Amino acid sequence: MALRDFWRRFSPWSAGPVPVPTASPSETSLEQTLVERFAAHFPGAASDGMVVTLPFGGLTVRCELGALDTLANQRSAALYFWISGGPFDNGPVFASVSGYGASELEAVVMGCCNWACAFGPVLRAGLAGETVTDIGSFEGTVDGQRVRVHLQHLDRVVTTADATETPPTIIQASRERLGPDGWLLRRVVESGSLPLLRSDRPVLLSAFFMDSDTPLREVKVNGGDWPASGAALDAGLGPRPTGAFPFMRELGVLVPLAPPPPLSRAGIERTLRPLIPVEGEPPRAATSWRGFRAHGGRLADPIPEDMIAQVLPAGFDLPGDYAAFLTEVASSGAGPGYGLLSPLHPAQRTLVARTAPPGPSIALAHAGCGVTWLLAVGAENHGQVWVDAMGSDETVKQVEASFSGWYRRWLDAVVRDVAAWIQWDSQACATTGAFAQILEKLAREGVAPDARRERLRGMLSAGAMTLKSGGSGLFTAGDRIDPCAGCVALASQFGIGDDLFALGLPPLQAR
């Protein structure tokens, strides 16, 4: 491979000069430059503030300027990109890059152009279905589902005085150590270490590897850290190049090519095991809140095949994916909200007689604050998952077409560490009103705005807030109930833990 072609293949940012303004701007104009340069890489894009609307895939990207620093004789700039829309219905997906240059402005421009030139085509291929030739791709299998991964490299190298090779040769040698085609993400996909993925939509994957005696490795799945795949990046590698520290970064879009097999217990346990809180490690918002603690990421035993007929009365059939889950995965346990409920409890029969939308149903899980996820088993909405939030925002609506889709969507949120996975407006919950009343009272008393949060924290001790049910298929009227993730997240914004809420009773199906 010719030297020029090598750099274009593995380091798109070095294929040609990038014009850099010579002015010395303020931080505000640095941010404006970041947005303008990013949008310029996508003809037809529009910007509003720090958000760029891309002309494909229904995507928007919020650009953010992170830390500016000095590295040897260069300035560095950390650049963050939050990608929303398209397949990303669990919130923005995070991506990042560092730029380097003789000035802060040059560092911002180089970092932005490097990322957009290298990875913009990947987004077009994977998220908009465009035919793009200047990127790599490969096919593979993830949890029994055939997939294609569109991807590209962005590499750089730091050398020391004892380096014996040129930077292009060093990077090429480092890539060759990874395998025949030199992809980090192929190693990740083929390692079998990824979590269970969304099976009906593209997934953003990224990998970073610093090839050194003490390597740095990072894998992200839809923007969420996934350390379980990090070991795949350097497993079995031989000696590294002398006097050099290659930095290899990849971004890829994994696109499903075929329907997935049913959910498996092994796949769910592989996904949840690394996320279960461990003493001494930083807590994750998605797994340290009260709802996840209720089930601890554990699955109950499956239901024997001969008991499936006892779940519903005559004239009703379980959706096929849910029936398979019950007999092959679990009858209850790890799941959204406070965990999956058993369908065998007699209290479920009251919901099967339900006439309000979505019609005859099974309660899948209690989300907190009296909100319930339902699986429709009647003829009209059969197999759909709905959320009954009449006790919160007074809505009842469909949120997923199937149980499997709903469960995988929750797993994706847990992997990405989404703090509050809610499918209704939790601002309508009682907690919001209670906090608003306290803050209004403090304002009337003349407490300064900056001091109100501290005063509120002092007024609310553990167990100070009790939530009660208005009555539903899961609770009787007046039952103490636990808070939803949205209310817990609201309390955390004031520096208050979820012990603020008095312990609720478990749903009837769990008593």
Please write the tens of the pLDDT for every residue from 135-162: 999 999 999 999 999 999 999 888 877 7
CB 474 within 8 A of CB 508: yes
177's tokens:
């150590």
143's tokens:
């949890």
Predicted confidence at residue 25, as pLDDT, reads 53
**Prediction pTM value:** 0.91
92 closest CA partner among 106, 104, 102, 81: 81
- Mind listing the domains of the chain with CATH numbers? 1-132 (no CATH), 135-261 (no CATH), 265-423 (3.40.1580.10), 427-510 (no CATH)
Task: Render pLDDT for 430-478 as a digit per residue (tens, 0 to 9).
Answer: 999 999 999 999 999 999 999 999 999 999 999 999 999 987 778 888 9
Predicted confidence at residue 60, as pLDDT, reads 98
Which amino acid is present at 88? Answer: F
61's tokens:
């990207």
Sort residue 237 into left (φ over 0), alpha (ψ -120 to 50) or beta: beta
Task: Render pLDDT for 390-419 as a digit per residue (tens, 0 to 9).
Answer: 999 999 999 999 999 999 999 999 999 999
DSSP state of 294: H
More confident residue, 365 or 281: 365
The 3-state DSSP class for residue 360 equals coil
- C-alpha separations of 343 from 301, 348, 362, 483 in Å: 13, 6, 7, 23
Predicted confidence at residue 350, as pLDDT, reads 85
Sheet holding 371-376, edge to edge: 361-368, 371-376, 385-389, 395-400
The percentage of the chain sitting over the pLDDT mark of 70, rounded to a whole number, equals 94
- pLDDT above 90 for 258: yes
- Write b or e for each residue in 188-200: b if 16 or more Cβ atoms lie within 10 A of its Cβ, otherwise e: bbbeebbbbbbbe
The band of 506, judged by pLDDT with boundaries at 50, 70 and 90, is confident
423: buried, middle or exposed (CB in 10 Å: 19+, 13-18, 0-12)?
Answer: buried
Backbone angles phi, psi at 260, to 5 degrees: -85, 160
Q: Which residues lie below 8 Å from residue 364, measured CB to CB, with a gap of 6+?
A: 335, 336, 340, 341, 372, 373, 374, 375, 385, 403, 406
Predicted confidence at residue 26, as pLDDT, reads 59
Predicted confidence at residue 244, as pLDDT, reads 81
Task: Render pLDDT for 468-505 as a digit per residue (tens, 0 to 9).
Answer: 998 777 888 899 999 999 999 999 999 999 999 999 98
Predicted confidence at residue 9, as pLDDT, reads 33
411: buried, middle or exposed (CB in 10 Å: 19+, 13-18, 0-12)?
Answer: buried
407 closest CA partner among 203, 511, 268: 268
CA distance 235 to 335: 33
Secondary structure of 313-347 in HEC code, one letter for each residue: CCCCCCCHHHHHHHHHCCCCECCCCCCECCCCCCC
- pLDDT above 60 for 12: no
| 441-449 long-range Cβ contacts below 8 angstroms, 24+ apart | none
CA distance 69 to 417: 28
The 3-state DSSP class for residue 290 equals helix
- pLDDT above 50 for 388: yes
Predicted confidence at residue 234, as pLDDT, reads 85
Task: Render pLDDT for 58-113 as a digit per residue (tens, 0 to 9).
Answer: 999 999 999 999 977 889 999 999 999 999 999 999 999 999 999 999 999 999 99
Task: Render pLDDT for 298-350 as a digit per residue (tens, 0 to 9).
Answer: 999 999 999 999 999 988 999 999 999 999 999 999 999 999 999 998 888 88
CB 51 within 8 A of CB 60: yes
CA distance 198 to 355: 32
CA distance 499 to 511: 22
